[in-house]
A and B are shown apart, each in its own frame.
Chain A
Amino acid sequence: MSAAAAWARRYGALIRNAWLIDLQYRASILLWVLWGVTEPAIALGIWWAIAGAGDVDGYARADFARYFFAMMLVNQLTIAWDSWYLDGWIRNGELNFRLARPLHPAHEATADNIAYKARSGSIIIVVWLVVAAVWPAVRLPFDPARWALTAVAVLFAAGLRFLISFTTGLLAFWTTRATAIMELHAGIAMFLAGRIAPLALLPPPIAHLASVLWFRPMLAFPVEVLTGAVTGSAALLQGFVAQAFWLAVWYGACRLAWQRGLLRYGAVGG
């Protein structure tokens, strides 16, 4: 069997298992998706009321509607829970059997992410299509080129959020508060990644900070690509370069944390 076929079979088996486990927890999956819909719906409700008949810095009601529907989808396609899993693996000793088998635990985490995103993303797309059928405001123009660019931006963002979550989870090698650090990051990202409001509406210094750091690349940028807020090849290129840059930085941090963490695991036992 070729190496590619072996990897395809491994990922297939891991994704299949993840879906089988999901089927055991239908209610909790539904609650998570509901939460994924509720948060942007609340933000949309607030901005809808503020915008009224006019607009806020160029954002009219329909723009907010499109923005938060795009946010809902992109968030589900990029969100990563790995820090919680890793924290458990490391602290409960479940990392041991994972280290003893010929598969880096990052592959299991990646496959879990693919399984989760395929499932949640498809539910959100159905929700969006149903809503768009009755509410023209949230419809997007037919633009395959933009969708293709969005797909790339979403892929980069998903990779970035995965690496951030995985790396933060690895902090469990040193501290029992790894998930608390991740929650703190999520709290900051609520504002800086565009979940509460489009970055264009934040005070300029804060919006600038979000763009300089990894917060815009990890979520707001693909949303802006999908809604058409980023126009012109220079702006697009700049966004993709920022994504690639932060991907590389977090990949390096992840490798370092993994290597150092394993040494530390070896030094204190597990």
Chain B
Amino acid sequence: MPPAIIAQSLSKTFRVKVRDPGLAGAVRALVRPRYRAVQAVREVSFEIVPGEIVAFLGPNGAGKTTTLKMLAGLLYPTSGQVRVAGFEPWSGGAAFKRRIALVLGNRQQLVWDLPAEETFLLNRAIYDIAERDFRERLAELVDLLGLAAVVDKPVRQLSLGERMKCELAAALLHRPPILFLDEPTLGLDVSAQDAIRRFLGAYRDRHGAAILLTSHYMQDVTALASRVIMINRGRLLYDGALDALVARIAPTKRLELVLGGPVRQESLAAFGTVHSFRFPNAVLDVPRETAAATSARLLAGLPVADLSIADPPIEEVIRLAFAEGGESE
């Protein structure tokens, strides 16, 4: 299957005006403006195939949104190549734009004063959607997103979560095979976040869409994305499976024990690094590859009432990964 998105050595340098503080600085900037080159994205390469959901991770200012905008054709790359749905985004014209959806968290296309269904009708006309297709797709989106009681209310009366759901519906009526989503769950409550995650998963399953989303919520990543791309200061730090990232960054597994009888800390230390110990609870970090065998030995050798094996929290892994990249903010 040919990739839906190909980015090769993608770079973007912005020219930013610099100004000294104070009135004198303002006047000087007016007379002789100075510019500084800011490398927002540096030599980033990746491919995404249809049906893949990829989480795009990085701290604020890492270059995520800039990359999304280049992929969507809003920004011209300074260098590098991009193919999205077979098109060069900035010269792909209407045919390209019909193949993508771009949802930028806080910049919405819904008309504030009108019910969301009016924006849906507008998009039906803009994207030339046949009446029957429109009815079918709208019914599907309303059903998947639970919008039945919402679409006829003015957008200004909707909650943030309802607005984002309507925004997604408006962006997906033309059934694009490629989705660029910038912080789709930002500021939403837990149930709205969950609804949007389930919806995105279902959309991908039904239509084989390729989805690239940025998020600061690790639940978005763990629930949706089998693959993560991490960038920091414009550089690609990691591209691969989430599991492999966890394995690489966190070479240990965490064993949580509930002890059934008295055990000395030294006895526990023989099995791994004691993370914490307060009878009857103990937490051990053990090498990932020997976790299963160590668990068996623990159960056989000590009075263990309960034992569970877990990865370290994903937030911790991501933080470590950025720290390992050497440029964590």
Is the pair A24, B114 in contact by a Cβ cutoff of 8 Å?
Answer: yes
Bound-state Cα–Cα, A61 to B111, Å:
47
**Cβ contact within 8 Å between A17 and B69:** no
A100:B107 contact, CB within 8 angstroms: no
Q: Are B102 and A97 touching (Cβ within 8 A)?
A: yes
For residue A20, which residue of chain B has the nearest CB? B114
Q: Which of B125-133, B143-151, B201-209, B268-276 contacts A (4 or more CB under 8 A)?
A: B125-133
B18 an interface residue at 8 Å Cβ cutoff? no
Residues of the B chain whose Cβ atoms lie less than 8 Å from the Cβ of A9: 125, 128
Most chain B CB within a 10 A radius of its CB, from A6, A9, A100: A100
Instruction: Check if B98 is an interface residue, CB within 8 A of chain A.
Output: yes
Given the complex, which residues of B lie within 8 Å of A270, measured CB to CB?
A: 69, 74-75
A99→B73 contact, CB < 8 A = yes
Assess whether A266 is in contact with B74, with CB atoms less than 8 Å apart: yes
Query: Across the interface, do A93 and B104 meet the contact criterion of CB distance under 8 Å?
Result: yes
Per-residue CB contact flags for chain A residues 227-270 toward chain B (1 = under 8 Å, else 0) read: 00000000000000000000000000000000000010111111
Provide the residues of chain B in CB contact with A267, threshold 8 Å: 14-15, 76
A93 CA to B104 CA in the complex, in Å?
A: 10
Q: How large is the interface on B (under 10, 10 to 19, 20 to 34, 35 or more residues)?
A: 35 or more
Q: How far is the CA of A101 from the CA of B75 in the complex (A)?
A: 14
In the assembled complex, the Cα of A268 lies from the Cα of B38 at a distance in Å of: 10
Say whether B100 faces chain A, with CB atoms less than 8 Å apart.
yes
A102: B residues at CB distance < 8 A: 93-95, 97-98, 126-127
In the complex, what residue of chain A is closest to B96 when comparing beta carbons? A102
Q: Does A139 contact B (CB under 8 A)?
A: no
Q: How many angstroms from the CA of A103 to the CA of B102 in the assembled complex?
A: 14
Q: Hey, which chain A residues are within 8 Å of B121, CB to CB?
A: 13, 16
Chain A residues proximal to chain B, CB less than 8 Å: 1, 6, 9-10, 12-14, 16-17, 20-21, 24-25, 92-94, 96-103, 263, 265-270
Given contacts A101-B97, A266-B76, 11 further A-B contacts (CB under 8 A): A12-B125, A20-B113, A24-B113, A96-B69, A96-B107, A97-B102, A99-B74, A101-B127, A265-B74, A265-B75, A270-B74
